[in-house]
Amino acid sequence: MRTVTLNNGVEMPILGFGVYQIPPEETERAVSDALAAGYRSLDTAAAYGNEEAVGRAIRRSGIPRGELFVTTKLWSSDAGEDRAARAFDTSLRKLGLDHLDLYLIHQPYGDVYGSWRAMERLHREGLVRAIGVSNFYPDRLVDLIDHNEITPAVNQIETHPFFQRTQYQELMRGRGVQIESWGPFAEGRNQFFTHPVLKEIAAAHGRSVAQVVLRWLVQRDVVVIPKSVRAERMAENLDVFGFQLTADQMAAVAALDTGSSLFFDHRDPAVTARLGTVTLEA
């Protein structure tokens, strides 16, 4: 598996397995299948409600902890220095682990700076190997970097052919932040799986549209965490290192960029009010 080197020297697999929207009762089986297929990076979150199932799958796998890269995320209702520290302990307990590889602030809302102080302390104590953020737009990311000791190692944001974040990726690269894609398949929107440009490139390589897009992201040095509940699709999504898109094919995908989210804008006051006030169940 190809890796990227984060700003503190930690190696992170460029392709992992995400469990967003997988029900808790299906998560253990899905993660077990993913680990059997060869995935070694797992991405979950307190808000997904399936950390315990991820932890059970890890224990059942028998894979040495040092071979795994485990990410989870802090939800907005747990923002703040003391609450973030407690939320981290809860996530660690649910996962059944003694440390995390990556801990992210899930949304750019609430007492982000208090949360970051807690995360910096957790990092110094060796309880998490790297810390970062998710869904931060450039202004919030730069502000966080400029007023804190540790620069986020990762920013996990919506990134797919219709919202490519190319300029933002360059800004992050200049600041030492690794871009990570969520929603690489745009949840099937904009006729993703039947899009003529993507289908033509896929046919040229004898690959699926999903494989082409994952390959496109990997060639852009974007970490990506595709999700599937089907073992055959998990294996297919992992098999993207045996071919390469040409410069013309990369340009054809680049031309699909709309420059706008297909889901929601975290700078929208309505989105802030909705996401920023959701409280997780205990």
Which of 23, 20, 67 shows the shortest CA–CA distance to 41?
A: 67
Burial class of 156 by CB neighbour count within 10 A (0 to 12, 13 to 18, 19+): buried
Q: How far apart are CA 44 and CA 160, in angstroms?
A: 19
The DSSP 8-state label assigned to residue 204 in this structure reads H
Q: Could you tell me which residues come within 8 angstroms of residue 44 by beta carbon, excluding any fewer than 6 positions away?
A: 18, 19, 50, 51, 54, 70, 71, 72, 73, 95
Q: How far apart are CA 68 and CA 168, in angstroms?
A: 29
Structure tokens at 20: 């967003």
Which of 116, 114, 104, 27 shows the shortest CA–CA distance to 70?
A: 104
Structure tokens at 143: 């502000």
**Number of other CB atoms surrounding residue 16 within 10 Å:** 23
Residue 137 among the catalytic residues: no
**Which one of the listed residues 39, 48, 103, 168 is annotated catalytic?**
48
Q: How far apart are CA 141 and CA 58, in angstroms?
A: 32
What Å distances lie between residue 271 and 105, 110, 151, CA to CA?
17, 13, 26
Residues that are catalytic: 48
